[in-house]
Amino acid sequence: MTPTATPTGAYPAWKAGTAYTPGVRVTHAGVGYECRQAHTAVAGWEPPNVPALWLRLP
Predicted TM-score (pTM) of the model is 0.82
Per-residue pLDDT tens digits for 17-49:
999 999 999 999 999 999 999 999 999 999 999
Q: What is the DSSP string of the chain?
A: ------TTS--PBP-TT-EE-TT-EEEETTEEEEE-S-EE--TT--GGG-TTTEEEP-
Cα–Cα distance, 11 to 44 (Å, whole number): 20
Query: Beta 54-56 vs 39-40: how paired, if at all?
Result: unpaired
Per-domain boundaries in the chain: 20-56
Q: Which amino acid is at 29?
A: A
The pLDDT score that the predictor gives to residue 10 is 83
